[in-house]
Structure 1
Amino acid sequence: MQGVERADRRLLDAAALVGHLVPAGSMYAFLADCRGRVFPDELFADLFPSAKGRRSIPGSVAASILTLQTLLDYSDAEAAEAARCDLRWKVACGLALDDKGFHPSTLTYWRRRLANSDRPYRVNDAVRQVVEATGILRGRRRRAVDSTILDDAVATQDTITQLIAQIRRVARVVPGAAEQIAAVCGGHDYSRPGKPDIDWDDPDAKQALVSTLVNDANNLVAALAEAKLDEPAQQAVALLALVAGQDVEPADGSDGTDGRWRIARKVAEDRVISTVDPQARHTRKSPQARRDGYRAHIAAEPDTGIITDEQLTKACGPDNADAAVAQQFLANGPTNTNSEPNSDSDSEPNTTAGVGDDDTGPEQPTGRPDQTAQEWYGDCAYGTGDLRNALDQAGHTAIIKPKPSQSPIRGGFTIDDFTVNTDQQTVTCPAAHTRPISPATRTADFGTRCRTCPLQTRCTKSKTGRKIVLNEHDALLRQARADWRTDPTLRDRYRRHRPNIERVIAQVASRGRRRLKLRYHGIHANHTWLKQRTAALNLRNLINRGLHWTNGWTLATS
């Protein structure tokens, strides 16, 4: 059953006895005074529908512990120890000095209850309500977007380790699989963890081991193909089939039918890097800097640092690219419907207003500006035609650094030197040759005209001539590049506001000088962590601005 906080203080109440030791204006002091207002007990009532059984930790206390844990990047054991031994935690959570605390598994229990509920992100939603009530976003129509890679909680596995580990996992979770392994998998003793003892300096021995493991995996998948399996078992078999094929190719002189395999000379697209966490991925920030894990995408109001949206995705893939996720943020709509657009001046509105202000809504017949219009700031990773078109269609302004145009010849002609006539669907090159645009491929092929062209050495090295491929939103991209070159105020606004998102990213991805490492497996669990992390950072941001309750949430400073 649900536990609730007592209205009266206990004899050894930490806040009453040592509350004066907790610094005023800190997260601990704020939670000591206001945890019940931010996280009221009724917010968690649906998690405990039964009135029977042992009482849980009060919802306001559990939410406060989860908030502190995520903010400080504590493990469950560290958080439980802090609640038992740290006076600041006892004051923040309303505990007695002699309170023995709780077992670390209690936090796992709460996360599972929240994850299985209809509102798994209610802690984040509660903080968002406080953000909106303070009015800190009122009049602020700038949004900056960026992303960062968060390291996963598992070790990256090589092909041999993955094959052995996944066959062992199938034996554990699939009924009858152990007998099938004994019957069709004779290349290795899968009752033993770890790699077999072979001469790892012998290439032939390694290739023979790879062939044996791949064949065993394929045989096991085939043997279980007709079995009726539940969802966890199906997922285990499907993952085995995936790891058996993603990293190997037929050996030299083989077509794969003779059972001879070798490690492929390339990295598979969307490669699974660990059977422990199949959703973790490789990615690269540069050819030299490889990272493994997940990508955290953040949208924030750059001048206040308030995070308005967040999303955790796989580290690679077109659907997880920066611009694609930014379009999802855009589709979520404005965070604060009471906001008004940024004025041309840099003066900021009063941010201590409460929730009683009238909604102004969209553009009115009197000629008032569209109050949902925003300025979106991003680096060149967000400069895609699709995102620019989405922003344009929504009435927003893109302050996004465009991707530079590339030329096949160093210092030669780029696509911007070619004139596109959208009415006639033609492209004209710098030498005044005009070619039609193919409706199917959106390409203009200059072909043999390049052979005798006096400008060929500045245009192309191809023997078949220059080919221009036009983006679906080519006109938007051209205009963006032209504006960036010719409008100094655009670049000034970008330099003034966009870098602020990098500070927000640093707060999300690190604590002190230490880079955070994810503690959970899978997108869902880590996305929940990111939601709690951004909620804690937003709450700390508001507290630093003097957040307090006086017949409503207000701020002492703007």
Structure 2
Amino acid sequence: MSMRPSGPGEIPAETVRVARAAFAKGSLAIRVRDELGPMFRDEDFADLFASRGRPAWSPAGLALVSVLQFVDGLTDRQAAEAVRARIDFKYALGLELGDPGFDFSVLSEFRDRLAGADGGRRVMDGVLVAAREKGLLKSAGRARTDSTHILSSARQLNWLELVAETLRSALNALAQAAPGWLAEAAEPDWFRHYATRAEESRFPKGRARRDEVGLRIGRDGMRLLEEVFATVAPHRLRALDEVEILRQVWVQHFHMVEGEVARRDPKDRPPGMMRLVTPYDREARGSVKRDIMWDGYKVHLTEICEADAPNLITNVATTVATVSDSVMSQSIHAGLADRDCLPGEHWVDAGYPTATQVLAARTEHGVALHGPMAANTSAQSAGPYGLDAFTVDWDQQQVACPGGVTTTQWYPRTDSKGLAVIRVRFRHSECRPCPHRHECVGSATGQRREIMLRHREEHEIIRHSRAEQQTDAWKDRYKIRAGVEGSISQAVGRCGLRRSRYRGLTKTSLQHQLTGAAINLARIDAHLTGTPRARTRTSHFAALCPAEMTLDGAQAGTE
């Protein structure tokens, strides 16, 4: 398909007249068009279309429809029907009342084009640019970020279902690609075991019998792989995605022991960032956060938080589920910098700030990253002989202990996490005569004290942050971060953020960009109509709690 760029144009007079009559108090789509004007241009998406072919429906219009679709939680069919039938949609798109719109399948094709070119960012940027031009985006103040888990579009599988479905998926793909070859290679029992979905199978309840079924599936899958990779098999079968997924899952869960297929021990399996959890979403990963276990992805939402402007979402970052929050700050700040939305203060929860991230935010972007710094949990972290009791002379590269002994044994090293550290050692002759050696070293058999330091700037950041976070002033300022959890709740409840609509990281990321744009339109509309922000919900019983007593304290007192 090709694109013939056209200007935004004026809204037809008859569409304006009917929309004003039908929506005397206005609607979100009408108010957003009146306030922000055309947010997208066809030229912004010109690279997604060929120069020849049948002209496509306006990509600028499709971008707006995609955002309004997420605002109202519509399916593709419902969104296409809204373009044909809803007057406020026609008003926002600048269409004639008799415009027939487009077939619903056009939206899916358009998303494929957007996903392949990171087009979701263009859509979200279009909303932010329009908001900035109208003075609704103020990005130099404060921002806050939080993450939440995203379930894969594929159903979560237990181990037996995973291996059975992986094998069944490969058999279906081979049956379509080479039915004659598979009919000869397949064992008779395979038709009985793998013709229907694993969820419809009645697996045994006993542990021993379930293990037997798992080994039987393992042997069948190994036999199929041997047939596919035999020299007489068609080479094109090895290139099938389902066959490659089968091979990866079998490598991760089975191995050969004395010529027999055996299940791998959990310690012998690859880490979670590599391990497949379903044959139907190759990029989904399993992860755990506190008491939540899920297969899928993770999304990070960043929003501005100023009292006199709508709290617009300025960055959306999607990762696989196993990526830690502690490595995301630099990526988030880079995305904010690209949009010219860097805040002066960035408030996050305890999962994000590390000394490295705080230092990078300050030096590279001029952002003050605030969040609870993880406490030192080592055995020698506190007390009269804790790390803070040692005096560090960074210029002379020496450290003095509380007893007045100074050491110059200063060794730059790398710790187990790959971080640059400094190991400082005291000599045996210095520690042995000390009357406080056992308290300081922390072991009855210890001979000398060793301490581990981060480099100077990071060390000072950690000490300053931990001290500041104990003050009431900082705790009062930190309350602002909690508001971002309301944004996640809004995205989950209004736009279905919790579960991915699509398969794969690229399309899931597109969904989240469109969700961010949709939430921004909803918040701009709420700002225009003066709708107050929702307050934190408090039950009637909780409201009776005395001011000097918190719920946590009341619960703790009963234990």
Q: Same fold (TM over 0.5)?
A: yes
Report if aligned partners of 1:144, 1:378 keep a CA contact under 8 Å in 2: yes
Secondary structure in 1 aligned to 2:499? Answer: coil
Aligned-partner residue type, residue 212 of structure 1: R
- Name the residue aligned to 1:326: 329
1:24-35 aligned at under 5 Å gives the runs: 24=25, 26-33=27-34
Matches within 5 A, 1:272-421: 272-286=276-290, 288-303=291-306, 304=309, 305-316=311-322, 320-332=323-335, 334=337, 374-394=344-364, 395-408=366-379, 415-421=387-393
Which residue in the other structure is 2:212 paired with?
Answer: 208
Q: Name 1:554's counterpart in structure 2.
A: none
CA spacing shift, 1:492–1:203, aligned 2, 3 Å: closer
Range moving further from structure 2, 423-432 or 526-535: 423-432
User: 2:197 aligned to 191, 194, 202, which one?
Assistant: 194
Conserved 8 A contact 2:272-2:286 = no
Tell me the amino acid that sits aligned with residue 505 of structure 1: I
Contact 1:402 1:481 in 2 (8 A): yes
| Structure 1 residues 350-407: Cα deviation after superposition (integer angstroms, max 9, x where no partner) | xxxxxxxxxxxxxxxxxxxxxx883222222122122022123224323232112224
Note the residue ranges of structure 1 that are not aligned, 5 or more in a row.
Answer: 340-371, 548-558
Which residue of the partner structure matches residue 58 of structure 1? 58
Aligned residue in 2 for 1:530: 512
The alignment partner of 1:259 has SS state of strand
When residues 34 and 27 of structure 1 are mapped into structure 2, their CA distance, relative to the original with a 3 A threshold, is same
Q: Contact conserved, 1:214 with 1:244, CA < 8 A, in 2?
A: yes
User: Aligned AA for 1:241?
Assistant: R
- Quote the Cα distance in structure 2 between the aligned partners of 1:406 and 1:193: 51
Other-structure match for 2:140:
140
Q: 1:157 to 1:118 in 2, by over 3 A?
A: closer
Residue 247 of structure 2, aligned match among 219, 238, 241: 241
Preserved contact between residue 67 and residue 515 of structure 2 (Cα < 8 Å): yes
User: 1:464 & 1:177 partners in 2: Cα distance?
Assistant: 70
Q: Deviations over 1:146-190 (max 9, x none)?
A: 212122212111222222322333345465598369538677436
From the superposition, tell whether residues 425 and 510 of structure 1 become closer, same or farther in structure 2 (CA, over 3 Å): farther
Deviations 1:121-156 (A, max 9, x none): 432232232133234445724332221212221211
Specify the alignment match of 2:488 in structure 1.
505
Partner residue in 2 for 1:348: none
The answer for the alignment partner of 1:75 in structure 2 is 75
Change (3 A) 1:182 1:468: farther
Matches of 2:427 and 2:74 in 1, distance apart?
63
Q: Structure 1 pair 486/118, CA: closer, same or farther in 2 (3 Å)?
A: closer
Q: Which amino acid aligns with 2:313?
A: I
Q: Tell me the equivalent position of 1:439.
A: 412
Contact 2:353 2:371 in 1 (8 A): yes
User: TM-score, normalising length from structure 2?
Assistant: 0.74
| Percent sequence identity over aligned pairs | 23
The residue type equivalent to 1:314 in the other structure is V
Which structure has greater helix proportion?
Answer: 2
Equivalent runs, 1:6-155 vs 2, <5 Å: 15-22=16-23, 24=25, 26-33=27-34, 37-50=38-51, 52-53=53-54, 55-94=55-94, 101-117=101-117, 119=119, 121-137=121-137, 140-155=140-155
| Cα drift, residue 327 of structure 1 | 0.5
Asked if the contact 2:40–2:63 (Cα under 8 Å) also holds between the matched residues in 1, the reply is yes
For 1:231 and 1:539, the matched residues in 2 are separated by 48
Q: Which residue of 2 aligns with 1:552?
A: none
Deviates more, 1:175-184 or 1:126-135: 175-184
How far apart in 2 are the matches of 1:178 and 1:405? 64
> For the Cα contact (< 8 Å) 1:484–1:491, is it kept in 2?
no
CA spacing shift, 1:197–1:396, aligned 2, 3 Å: closer
1:520, 1:232 → 2: CA distance?
26
Q: Is residue 15–residue 32 contact of structure 1 (8 Å, CA) maintained in 2?
A: no
Are the equivalent residues in 1 in contact too, given 2:29–2:92 (CA < 8 A)?
Answer: yes
Change (3 A) 1:58 1:438: same
1:179 and 2:191 aligned: no
**Residues 142/211 of structure 1: CA separation in 2 closer, same or farther (3 Å cut):** same
Secondary structure of 1:37 counterpart: coil
What secondary structure is seen at the aligned counterpart in 2 of 1:499? helix
Name which of 218, 223, 227 aligns with 2:222: 218
Gap change, CA 1:263 and 1:102, over 3 Å in 2: farther
Q: 1:474 to 1:461 in 2, by over 3 A?
A: farther
Q: How many residues align?
A: 502
Greater shift after overlay, 159-168 or 419-428?
419-428
When residues 434 and 205 of structure 1 are mapped into structure 2, their CA distance, relative to the original with a 3 A threshold, is farther
8 Å contact from structure 1 (residues 186, 216) kept in 2:
no
**Shift, 1:542, TM fit:** 3.4
- Does the CA-based 8 Å contact 2:144-2:303 persist in structure 1? yes
RMSD: 4.3
- CA offsets 1:182-221 (integer angstroms, 9 cap, x no match): 5386774365133496760343332222222223333444
Cα distance change of structure 1 residues 230 and 383 upon mapping to structure 2, 3 Å threshold: farther
Structure 1 pair 16–266 and aligned structure 2 pair: CA distance change class (3 A)? farther
In structure 2, the CA distance between the partners of 1:450 and 1:39, relative to structure 1 (3 Å rule), is farther
Distance 1:429 1:230, change over 3 A: farther
Change (3 A) 1:58 1:198: closer
Q: Tell me, what secondary structure is at the counterpart of 1:38? A: coil
Task: Identify unmatched segments of 5+ residues in structure 2.
Answer: 415-421, 530-559
Indicate if the aligned counterparts of 1:248 and 1:264 stay in contact, CA closer than 8 A: no
The letter of the residue matching 1:277 is: D
Equivalent position amino acid for 1:388 in 2:
V
Residues 118 and 306 of structure 1, relative CA distance in 2, 3 Å threshold: closer
Change (3 A) 1:137 1:117: closer
Contact (CA 8 Å) 1:210, 1:263: kept in 2 or not?
Answer: no
